[in-house]
Amino acid sequence: MPAVTEPSDDALRQWLLQRLPPAEAAVLEEQLMHDDGLPDRLREAETDLFDDAARGALSAEEAQAFHAHRLADPAQRDRLRAARAWARVREAAAGEGAAQDFVPRTAVHTWRRSRAALAAAACVIVAVLAAIVWNVLAPSPPSSTIPTYSLLASTQRGSGPRTLRLPASGDAVHLQVEVTDTTHRYQLFVETDGRRRQIAGDLTPLRVRGYDYVEANVDAALLASGRHRLLLVDASNSAEPEQAWEVQVGEP
Amino acid sequence: MNPGAATAAGAFDALLRRLAADDGDPARAYERLRERLLALLRVYLPAEAEALADVVLDRLAKRASEGVVIDDVRSYALGIARLVLQEARLRASRRREAEDDPTLQPDPDASAENEEAERALHGLHACLDTLDAASRAMILAYYGADGGARIRLRQQLAQAQGSTLNALRNRALRLRARIEECLRERLGRRSL
């Protein structure tokens, strides 16, 4: 068998959805029979596909193919049911993780969990993610004493924004917001009761240890007690926010 | 033993002998071949993968017992699998025409399934609790990202553990299968 390139995750996904051209599928069939690592990768691609389907994160075309080709099997429907349960566990963890990700570094020890009933699973994922994402990726905080929150970009398609919970301190905060494209300029907005106010415009991404982000100070007046949305907008395409986070200041 | 069973047993032995020529452990080689066939067939017809894999292996064994020269067992098995898939699709197509049955399954999000979803969530928590803390943390972290962040996170996890991505993937898949099996048992289902 001639040497072939390793298939991408997306190729495996499209194969599982039976959306690959026959010639490409035939190549994968050969590889699956001969490449010792491919069965595991295929199984992983399938698991990730179920996880994304469970979170409604498939495109319309993918969702249709998923229903048509994967869910014809009762065992696969059970896998989807399990994936939905995984998604809910993750959702709980992500809410907590989001808050943990954005713990102000000047007040780590004073931050309190807002949801007492979080599962133990949530705690452990937070521990791991906090260790990896926070310590490895996040840039250094500014030298001032303003609490700093780092907002990590979410790549979840079709999923709702994560909720950050900030204490109602009445202080300004410093935001470091992860971006996905360093060639773009960005704007930050806070939206309260449907009213959008700009925090900063024409922000140029910075890079620290592979973490691309923009940063800005948010005046305390923009983050009064209550619920807000924080919006990251590509300055060249201001119609739709690139990322959005729910922000709860103080107790809901 | 009736003649049919004796023939099948003879064919199976012939297949094992052929596999032994490639691999000193024919039983292991047989299992690995079956797993690959299952993985392949699950891509196309997951509901019938187990049954179709058996058909492929039976035909392969028959060819081996007939003295057919099989240079590459896996490629030969793939050829048979493609034919078997073609036949199964044809049968399914005829069945659909006869039943005029819609292909798409009903939306599993229907409210009637809410209770079951709660049971699944409760069951998953219970199954996760059977893992030690480190394993639980690993499996939740491993499946804790989406899209482009997914591979990056997994690479970071592997690095943090001083492991390779492949080794971590293997461990995560085994743990996930174990958890899903636990959940299947709790929900009284066939397989996840």
Using a CB-CB cut-off of 8 Å, the residues of chain A touching B112 are none
Question: CA B54 → CA A217, B9, B88, B192, distances in Å?
Answer: 64, 14, 13, 20
List all residues of chain B from 4 to 33 with a beta carbon under 8 Å from chain A: none
* Local structure of B163: helix, strand or coil: coil
The confidence score (pLDDT) of residue A19 equals: 94
Is the torsion defined by CA of A70, A72, A77, A78 positive or negative? negative
**Cβ contact B47–A94 (<8 Å):** no
Q: CA A101, CA A130: separation in Å to the nearest integer?
A: 6
Q: Mutate one of B71, B121, B135 to test the A interface: name it (highest A CB count within 10 A).
A: B121
**Cβ contact A81–B166 (<8 Å):** no
Return the number of other C-beta atoms located less than 10 Å from residue A120's C-beta.
Answer: 12
The confidence score (pLDDT) of residue B176 equals: 95
Place of tokens 């700093």: A148
The confidence score (pLDDT) of residue B149 equals: 81
> A225: which 2 tokens?
């007690």
List all residues of chain B from 28 to 67 with a beta carbon under 8 Å from chain A: 35-36, 39-40, 42-47
Using a CB-CB cut-off of 8 Å, the residues of chain A touching B155 are none
Q: CA A165, CA A160: separation in Å to the nearest integer?
A: 16
φ and ψ at B22, to 5 degrees?
Answer: -95, -30
For helices B49-65 and B73-99, angle between their N-to-C axes, nearest 10 degrees: 130
The confidence score (pLDDT) of residue A125 equals: 44
Q: Which of A16, A52, A82 sits opposite B180 (nearest CB)?
A: A82
Say if CB B172 and CB B139 are below 8 A apart.
yes
Question: CA A176 → CA A96, A138, A181, B49, distances in Å?
Answer: 18, 9, 15, 49
pLDDT along chain A (252 residues), means of 10: 75 95 95 93 95 87 89 85 88 58 33 35 42 39 57 51 67 77 83 84 71 78 84 78 80 74
Phi-psi region of A97 (alpha: psi -120 to 50; beta: other; left: phi over 0): alpha
> A21: which 2 tokens?
């051209």
Q: Does A119 touch chain B (CB under 8 A)?
A: yes
Number of H helices, E strands in chain B: 8, 0
The confidence score (pLDDT) of residue A211 equals: 63
Q: CA B165, CA A217: separation in Å to the nearest integer?
A: 38
- Weakest mean pLDDT among A190-194, A247-251, B35-39, B113-117: B113-117
**Cβ contact A154–B146 (<8 Å):** yes
> B8: which 2 tokens?
């099948």
Mean pLDDT value across residues B158-174: 90
Using a CB-CB cut-off of 8 Å, the residues of chain A touching B136 are 120-121, 124
* Per-residue DSSP letter, B143: T
- Within 13 Å and on the Cβ side, how many CA atoms surround B109? 7
In chain B, the percentage of residues whose pLDDT exceeds 70 is 84
Residue B189's pLDDT band, with cuts at 50, 70 and 90, is low
- Within 13 Å and on the Cβ side, how many CA atoms surround A43? 20
Predicted confidence (pLDDT) at residue B175 exceeds the cutoff of 60: yes
- Within 13 Å and on the Cβ side, how many CA atoms surround A63? 14
Say if CB A155 and CB B146 are below 8 A apart.
yes
Q: Does A20 touch chain B (CB under 8 A)?
A: no
**Cβ contact A37–B133 (<8 Å):** no
φ and ψ at A241, to 5 degrees?
Answer: -65, 140
Say if CB A199 and CB A216 are below 8 A apart.
yes
Say if CB B148 and CB A155 are below 8 A apart.
yes
Q: CA A148, CA A150: separation in Å to the nearest integer?
A: 7
The confidence score (pLDDT) of residue A106 equals: 33
List all residues of chain A from 182 to 241 with a beta carbon under 8 Å from chain B: none
| Range among A120-129, B54-63, B84-93 rated most confident | B54-63
Predicted confidence (pLDDT) at residue B106 exceeds the cutoff of 50: no
Q: Which of A68, A71, A125 sits opposite B144 (nearest CB)?
A: A125
Convert the pLDDT of each residue in A177-219 to its tens digit: 877 777 788 888 888 888 888 888 878 877 655 567 788 888 8
Q: CA A142, CA A149: separation in Å to the nearest integer?
A: 11
Looking at per-residue pLDDT, the higher value among B28 and A153 belongs to B28
The candidate with the shortest Cα–Cα distance to A128, out of B178, B158, B175, B130, is: B158
List all residues of chain B from 113 to 172 with a beta carbon under 8 Å from chain A: 113, 116-117, 120-121, 123-125, 128-129, 133, 136-138, 140-141, 143-151, 153, 156-157, 160, 166, 169-170, 172
Q: CA A33, CA A17: separation in Å to the nearest integer?
A: 19
3-state secondary structure chain A: CCCCCCCCHHHHHHHHCCCCCHHHHHHHHHHHHHCCCHHHHHHHHHHHHHHHHHCCCCCHHHHHHHHHHHCCCHHHHHHHHHHHHHHHHHHHHHHHHHHHHCCCHHHHHHCCCCCCCCCHHHHHHHHHHHHHHHHHHCCCCCCCCCCEEEECCCCCCCCCCCEEEECCCCCCEEEEEECCCCCCCEEEEEEECCEEEEEEEEECCEEECCEEEEEEEECHHHHCCEEEEEEEEECCCCCCCCEEEEEEECCC
φ and ψ at A200, to 5 degrees?
Answer: -160, 150
Apex CA A37: angle with CA A44 and CA B48, to 5°? 60
Say if CB A223 and CB A239 are below 8 A apart.
no
Distant-in-sequence, close-in-space partners of A12: CB < 8 Å, separation ≥ 6: A28, A41, A42, A45
